Amino acid sequence: MERPICLITGATEGVGKATALELARKGFVVVLGARNAAKAKAVKAEIAASSGNPHIDYLIADLSSLKQVRGLSETFKQRYPRLDVLINNAGIFAPARVLTEDGFETTHQVNYLSHFYLTLLLLADLGKSAQGRIINLSSCVYVAGKFDARNLQSEKRFSTFSAYSDSKLLMLLFTIELAERLRETGITVNAVHPGVVRTPLMLRAPGVFRVVAYLALPFALSPERGAATSVYLASAPEVKSISGQYFTLSRTGRFKTPFNTPDHRNLLWELSAKSLPLEPFVTAAQ
């Protein structure tokens, strides 16, 4: 396993699939995280044929189930000696407030909490890499997001836009906090805004997102261009020591939110960790 090993969630369509294909072309061992086994098998074969790289695998897990997230991490550990790159790419637009089997609002769990969980479960594997990299998909809509410790599950009021933008803000705050906690290790953590990308997720979006999606179609990026920043962060040697940054168009970007404070980030971490079945040594993130 001299090739770098990358695990990508939400890797069977859109930006995730384009990222997987490009990293396969660069010679990575690419592990596709997916919900649907038949689709994952087909995408695996497609990427292997297109890239000429046979080192493509898939693991099945629905991020709306913490049990399945843990199963994904355990299966990965059994198959691979380490993890070089983790790309937390999967995301959804939920049209209504629905609770998962774990009791969390679906957008919050799929877009943020399950990625928080998966990342902590795989930290030791990233630590075995010569230079582990974590890439979290955020979005420019983080600017509309809010961190309200009493409303993390949209208990007060639900809207698709608010739930999605909140989840992308939390991914950004998690990125910065985790980078700080891993500062003395060789693991880097960065957030990515892929741009407005023409994907199936975008075209299936409910409510106001669908209107925005169709208005933006003439200007939207292809999935390949949307994937470019994730690919850059996963593979470029010049970013091996950069951590805790927000990237767009393969450059560090400025971000500003009143919720980016040590107190807010630490509180988010504590609330997230307390809600999950984690061992104490894992919640401390080394």
DSSP per residue, 239-286 = GTT--SEEEETTEEE----TT-SHHHHHHHHHHHHHTS---HHHHTT-
Give pLDDT, residue 226.
Answer: 86
Asked if 246 is an active-site residue, the reply is no
Active-site hit among 112, 164, 232, 246: 164
Question: Which CATH number belongs to the domain containing residue 190 in this structure?
Answer: 3.40.50.720
User: Can you give the residue range of the structural domain that contains 20?
Assistant: 5-283
CB 199 within 8 A of CB 166: no
Query: How far from 264 is each of 152, 174, 209, 270, 271, CA to CA, in Å?
Result: 13, 10, 28, 10, 11
- Residue in this structure with the two tokens 């990508």, named with its chain if needed: 8
- Residue in this structure with the two tokens 């075995």, named with its chain if needed: 128
DSSP per residue, 235-251 = H-GGGTT--SEEEETTE
Q: Could you tell me the mean pLDDT of each successive run of 10 residues in the chain, 286 residues long?
A: 93 95 98 98 98 98 98 98 98 92 97 98 97 94 91 91 94 98 96 72 61 56 85 97 95 93 97 86 54
- Residue in this structure with the two tokens 């010569």, named with its chain if needed: 130
d(CA 217, CA 144): 22
Give pLDDT, residue 97.
Answer: 95
Give pLDDT, residue 278.
Answer: 77
Estimate to the nearest angstrom the gap between the alpha carbon of 180 and the chain centroid.
18
d(CA 41, CA 50): 14
Give pLDDT, residue 145.
Answer: 92
Using a cut of 0.85, tell me whether the model's pTM lies above it. yes
Domain total in the chain = 1
